[in-house]
Amino acid sequence: MSAAARAPPPPRALSAPSRRAPLGAVNLSAPRPGARVGAARPREENFHNNCLLTSSSLNSSPLLCPPCNCAQMALADTRIPYQPDVDKHAGVLAYELVQGNLVQWNSFMDKAIPDPPTAVLLHGILGSRKNWGSFAKRLAQEFPMWQFLLVDLRCHGDSASIKKRGPHTVASTALDVLKLIVQLRLTPRVLVGHSFGGKVALSMVEQAAKPLARPVRVWVLDATPGKVRAGVDGEDHPAELIEFLRRMPEQVSSKQEVVDALVKGQFSVDVARWVATNLHRTSPLGQRSSSSFSWTFDLNGISEMYKSYEDTNLWRIVENVPRGVHINFLKAERSLHRWALEDLQRIHTAEELAADEGGGVEMHVLEDAGHWVHADNPDGLFRILSSTFRIETTIRGMQD
């Protein structure tokens, strides 16, 4: 039977979830092309009853996410709505679900109805799910049977208000995402992680046989499984940026104040503008005389996460790839990292080993791009990633 023949009827429009909404509530009306489903924060209870996990104590750390084109627009438009105190209930993570126009599914439907093919997109340090917004919409338009889960990782974006127990590591961050996809009743076919998010994706594969599908394709964008090697002199270094931000006042009068301070501190204008998009208004819009902004992230937690990113070694999952897992590394031509020759040789050796064991490892290079791959060369990245979604769509069609 074809996927179209089995498709459930369009979901009825649902009202916005209340504080007592069911787990994994997703507010859906009939989706439009590249539709975004509003963020929700499902609760964490009953997770271990739903998912087999082998916990591991990993340490790991991130690199910066891209200063996307929206940074300048966000800086120019400082009329951000006043954001009151968030819900105090402990959830998993804040997220958005971007769906293609052929997706007719929500988490309230009968569990017997299979979820559509899903990809999870993970941002890097000091980023947020917004970094993937326009790219995910483009993917949803090209692959309308797919849906794309964008999350704010712990200590970042809207998830910063959801208190998490330490330690703040790659492993604990990966466990958060695994909990979320269980609560949403999803079985991802593709994991895409940029920088720190790349190590998170590898840790997800290592920690859990479920709820990850087999086959599952993992994309690690401009990050190696092990040692983080700093870039050349004169480049923005994430650890230095984090420490600089920690020394700044918790509240500032404007975004421009932060941009000016960062540029004076020898950080690039693009990174300064991008960082300023993480500010939100903390006084009502009408009170211009007392206008102030504060960070949407937890800098202390992020500092710990970055240290974990530097320390975490996940070569073991790359050199012993589980059957049905295909790991793709993408190196940016002008990467912030120094991709050592030993890293490249080790990945190529893993390619040969994985092929013999029923898994896969592959290396790609994205030309004309620095570390922020989805901002520097989105067209090139789209062409490379599209092959994965075409392959998975074909496999799913054959199984149907």
CB neighbours (10 Å) of residue 398?
Answer: 7
User: Could you identify the residue written with the tokens 């509003």?
Assistant: 38
DSSP 48-112: HHH--B----------BPP--THHHHHHH---PPP--PPP-S-BS--EEEEE-TT----TTS-TT
- The domain total for the chain is 2
Whether 207 and 288 map to the same domain: the answer is no
Domain assignment present for residue 48? The answer is no
- 183 in any annotated domain: yes
Closest among 248, 193, 245, 247 to 223, alpha carbons compared? 193
121 and 140 co-located in one domain: yes
In a domain, 373, yes or no: yes
Q: Are 210 and 344 within one domain?
A: yes
Question: What would the pLDDT profile of 53-112 be if each residue is shown by its tens digit?
Answer: 222 233 333 344 444 433 332 332 222 222 233 333 337 999 999 999 999 887 666 667
Q: For residue 11, which of 79, 107, 105, 137 has the smallest C-alpha distance?
A: 105
Q: What single-letter amino acid sits at 291? A: S
Q: Do 122 and 270 have their domain in common?
A: no
β-pairing, 293-295 vs 216-221, is unpaired
The residue segments making up the domain with residue 289 are: 238-298
Examine residue 257 and state whether it is found in any structural domain, yes or no. yes
Give the separation between CA 95 and CA 176, rounded to whole angstroms: 12
Residue 65 shares a structural domain with residue 201 = yes
Looking at the structure, tell me whether residues 352 and 246 fall in a common domain.
no
List Cα–Cα distances, 285 to 70, 144, 290, in angstroms.
21, 38, 10
Best CA proximity match to 119, nearest among 192, 177, 184:
192
Statement to judge: residues 193 and 331 lie in one domain: yes
Q: Which of 260, 283, 298 is the last residue of a domain?
A: 298
- Pair (123, 171) in one structural domain: yes
Evaluate the omega torsion of the peptide bond into residue 81 and state whether it is cis, within 30 degrees of 0. no
Is 40 a member of any domain? no
In a domain, 30, yes or no: no
CATH code (residue 131):
3.40.50.1820
pLDDT at 49: 34
Supply 270's token pair. Answer: 């693009």
Residue 214 and residue 292 in one domain: no
Q: CA angle 384-385-388, nearest 5°?
A: 115
Residue-level pLDDT, tens digit, the chain, 400 residues = 434 344 433 333 322 333 333 323 333 333 444 555 555 444 433 333 333 322 223 333 334 444 443 333 233 222 222 223 333 333 799 999 999 999 988 766 666 777 889 999 999 999 999 999 999 999 999 999 999 999 999 999 999 999 898 899 999 999 999 999 999 989 999 999 999 999 999 999 999 888 888 889 999 999 999 988 765 555 668 888 999 999 999 899 999 999 999 999 988 888 898 889 889 888 665 555 567 899 989 999 999 999 999 999 999 999 998 888 999 999 998 876 678 889 999 999 999 888 766 679 999 999 998 888 988 899 999 999 998 998 877 665 545 4
Tell me the residue type at 127.
G
Residue 276 lies in a domain: yes
- The verdict on 157 and 203 lying in the same domain is yes
Element (H, E) at 333: strand 325-334
pTM for the model:
0.76
pLDDT in tens, 304-353: 999 999 999 999 999 998 888 999 999 998 876 678 889 999 999 999 88
Instruction: Based on the fold, state whether residues 219 and 308 are members of the same structural domain.
Output: yes
Identify the pLDDT of residue 391.
82
Q: What is the pLDDT of residue 55?
A: 26
Domain boundary among 248, 268, 298: 298
**Are residues 259 and 148 located together in one domain of the fold?**
no
Picking from 298, 316, 332, the residue at the C-terminal end of a domain is: 298
Is residue 248 in a domain?
yes
